[in-house]
């Protein structure tokens, strides 16, 4: 029987045959390897672009989770920073609205649809501009903000363009991570917010310093050095180094401190005057329950009365103001016109004495200037003498207004201001202002403006009713106001006759006849 054939196959590789054959082609790349290559090739340009736009070092972007979030938006820490800044500004604006400084309907809260195609903003600032609240004030009478600057509204394309040069010096000093939180107004102090580091710096565009705030460490900056560095701010080469050297305040600390100052009444948004200073505003706020039990209507009515109360100098108000300006007394802080003229006259005389005789042209000019200043000084002394004479006549024993007449005079002045407020609104505004308002105002801002005007009228009317109630309670009426007005008219006629004040000759007989008829109607005897 033939034996079964066993087929024994050797699975070991044949080295002799492989050594003589050509090498086999490499295996095709796997799906994971292709994805890895594409991801790396996609992420490297993005990292380079982000580093170039924001001026930061590469190691800030080496964290892979952070990089993935940045590609798809912003990291959670930056989102929290944006939300905190927007929340603090919203609380500040709401506090101003609760103070009745501005209408609550004027606050525009985010998110806003702002297309920042300008390369001047980075991605974080673009997100911040969309989240911040703004004040809608395209009104004929805008209210100022901090240190009498203006609110800024980044939803307006023109304001976005203007705020890239907030110091008005035509320089490229704003980095992509910076924005201005206000715009230059009367105060000229600009808050510069830097997203990198969450910092706020303040620059005064008149003094080129940041000494306008009393928060530390801003006061540590040398004002003289700031003036010297004006060119560096506007046209400097190493602008990043300048911002790093400039003192700053952490933005959350600054805004929380500002908010607390408003709530405590230590910071007042209204423009102060010598007659109505910050202390008077604070006392009035606290008297009406600020901030917890605040009676806004009563506060605004009494504020209108205080802002428009009659002068304590009575009919001698103009004379007192002229004398204070000439002598440098409060509310004027300068040495006075007379003191300035005397110093100028002394300087001119010194120059005239030291000028050689050979320089005849200069001596002639200085002599003419010396003579002109001497005449001007003599005229100012005559004005001061006339003002003091009138004060002595109208304010015997230093009393210009009797205590029992104060309430009646104040009420008369409040009525006058209320009538002027109504007339001004009915008369409208200058044509150029009205046209600009019609072009920029939306329906929302028009409703805000009209509603705010109605509130102001109501507050002024409430002030008139309250002051009339006080006058009736004291037993003084319109007769006293009429007698005071007639007394003022009679004294002005005496001043005309004595030469203390000007009086047109053609109007003198009419004034005399009018005054005489009113004297007889009030039972006065001719003197």
pLDDT in the model for residue 527: 36
CB-side exposure of 334: number of CA atoms within 13 Å?
Answer: 10
Question: CA 480 from chain center: how many Å?
Answer: 42
Around 141, how many Cα atoms within 13 Å sit in the side-chain half-sphere?
12
Residue range 300-328: mean pLDDT, rounded: 86
The pLDDT confidence band at residue 480, using thresholds 50, 70 and 90, is very low
Q: Cα–chain-centroid distance for residue 495?
A: 44
> What is the spatial distance between Cα 151 and Cα 106, in angstroms, rounded to a whole number?
12
So what's the pLDDT on residue 217? 39
Lowest average pLDDT, out of 186-195, 240-249, 393-402, goes to 240-249
Confidence of residue 82 (pLDDT cuts 50, 70, 90): very high
Assigned token pair, 220: 């540590």
Q: What is the rounded CA–CA span in Å between residue 203 and residue 191? A: 7
Looking at the chain, the whole-number percentage of residues with pLDDT higher than 90 is 18
- d(C-alpha 249, C-alpha 255), whole Å: 10
The larger pLDDT score, comparing residue 89 to residue 120, is at 89
In the predicted model, what is the mean pLDDT of residues 4-33?
51
pLDDT, one tens digit per residue, over 154-181 is 888 888 888 888 877 777 788 888 899 9
Q: Averaged over 202-231, what is the pLDDT? A: 55
Whole-structure pTM value = 0.67
Does the pLDDT of residue 64 top 60, yes or no?
no
Task: Write out the two tokens for 138.
Answer: 């395209």
Q: Which helix (H) or strand (E) holds 255?
A: helix 251-264
Cis ω before 291 (30° cut-off from 0) = yes
φ/ψ of residue 107, rounded to 5? -80, 120
Q: What is the mean pLDDT of the chain?
A: 74
62-91 mean pLDDT: 74
pLDDT band at 62; cut points 50, 70, 90: very low
Instruction: Output the pLDDT for position 94.
Output: 95
Locate 214 and state its tokens. 């009393």
- Give the number of C-alpha atoms closer than 13 A to the C-alpha of residue 160, restricted to the C-beta side: 17
At 481 the pLDDT is 52
SS (H, E, C) 350-419: HHHHHCCCCCHHHHHHHHHHHHHHHHHHHHHHHHHHHHHHHHHHHCHHHCCCCHHHHHHHHHHHHHHHHH
Provide the pLDDT for residue 32.
60
Name every residue whose Cβ is closer than 8 Å to that of residue 5 and which is 6 or more positions away in sequence: none
Backbone torsions φ then ψ of 355, nearest 5 degrees: -80, 130
Summarize the confidence of residues 383-398 as an average pLDDT: 87
Is 462 a residue whose pLDDT tops 90?
Answer: yes
Q: Greater confidence, 147 or 118?
A: 147
Length of the chain (residues): 527
Q: What percent of the chain has pLDDT over 70?
A: 65
């Amino acid at each position: 029987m033939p034996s079964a054939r066993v087929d024994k196959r050797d699975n070991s590789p044949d080295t002799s045959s492989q050594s003589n054959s050509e090498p086999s082609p490499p295996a095709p790349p796997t799906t994971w390897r292709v994805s890895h290559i594409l991801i790396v090739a996609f992420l490297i340009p993005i990292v380079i672009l982000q580093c170039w736009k924001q001026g930061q070092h590469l190691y800030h972007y080496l964290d892979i989770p952070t990089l993935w979030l940045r590609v798809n938006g912003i990291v959670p820490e930056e989102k929290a920073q944006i939300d905190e800044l927007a929340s603090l500004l919203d609380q500040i604006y709401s506090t101003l609205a609760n103070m009745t400084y501005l209408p609550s309907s004027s606050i525009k809260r985010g998110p806003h649809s702002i297309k920042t195609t300008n390369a001047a903003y980075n991605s974080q600032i673009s997100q911040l501009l969309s989240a911040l609240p703004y004040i809608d004030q395209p009104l004929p009478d805008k209210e100022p903000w901090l240190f009498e600057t203006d609110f800024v509204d980044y939803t307006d394309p023109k304001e976005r363009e203007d705020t890239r040069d907030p110091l008005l010096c035509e320089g490229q000093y704003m980095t992509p991570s910076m924005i201005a939180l206000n715009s230059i107004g009367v105060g000229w102090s600009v808050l510069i917010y830097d997203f990198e580091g969450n910092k706020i710096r303040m620059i005064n565009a008149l003094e080129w310093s940041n000494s306008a705030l009393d928060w530390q460490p801003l006061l540590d900056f040398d004002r003289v050095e700031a003036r010297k560095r004006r060119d560096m701010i506007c046209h400097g080469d190493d602008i990043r180094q300048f911002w790093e050297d400039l003192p700053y305040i952490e933005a959350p600390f600054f805004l929380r401190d500002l908010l607390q100052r408003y709530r405590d009444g230590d910071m007042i948004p209204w423009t102060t005057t010598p007659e109505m200073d910050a202390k008077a505003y604070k006392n009035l706020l606290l008297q009406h329950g600020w901030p917890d039990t605040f009676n806004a209507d009563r506060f605004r009515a009494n504020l209108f009365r205080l802002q428009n109360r009659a002068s304590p100098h009575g009919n001698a108000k103009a004379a007192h103001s002229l004398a204070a300006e000439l002598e440098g007394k409060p509310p004027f802080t300068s040495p006075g016109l007379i003191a300035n003229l005397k110093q100028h006259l002394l300087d001119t005389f010194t120059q005239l004495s030291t000028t050689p005789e050979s320089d005849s042209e200069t001596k002639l000019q200085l002599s003419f200037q010396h003579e002109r200043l001497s005449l001007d000084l003599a005229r100012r002394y005559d004005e001061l003498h006339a003002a003091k004479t009138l004060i002595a006549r109208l304010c015997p024993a230093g009393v210009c207004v009797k205590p029992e007449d104060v309430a009646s005079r104040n009420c008369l002045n409040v009525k006058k201001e209320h009538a002027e407020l109504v007339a001004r609104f009915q008369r409208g505004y200058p044509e150029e202002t009205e046209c600009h308002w019609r072009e920029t105002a939306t329906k929302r801002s028009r409703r805000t403006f009209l509603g705010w005007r109605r509130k102001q009228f109501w507050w002024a009317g409430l002030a008139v009713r309250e002051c009339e109630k006080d006058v009736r309670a004291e037993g003084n009426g319109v007769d006293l106001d009429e007698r005071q007005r007639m007394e003022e008219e009679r004294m002005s006629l005496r001043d005309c006759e004595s030469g203390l004040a000007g009086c047109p000759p053609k109007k003198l007989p009419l004034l005399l006849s009018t005054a005489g008829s009113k004297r007889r109607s009030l039972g006065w005897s001719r003197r």
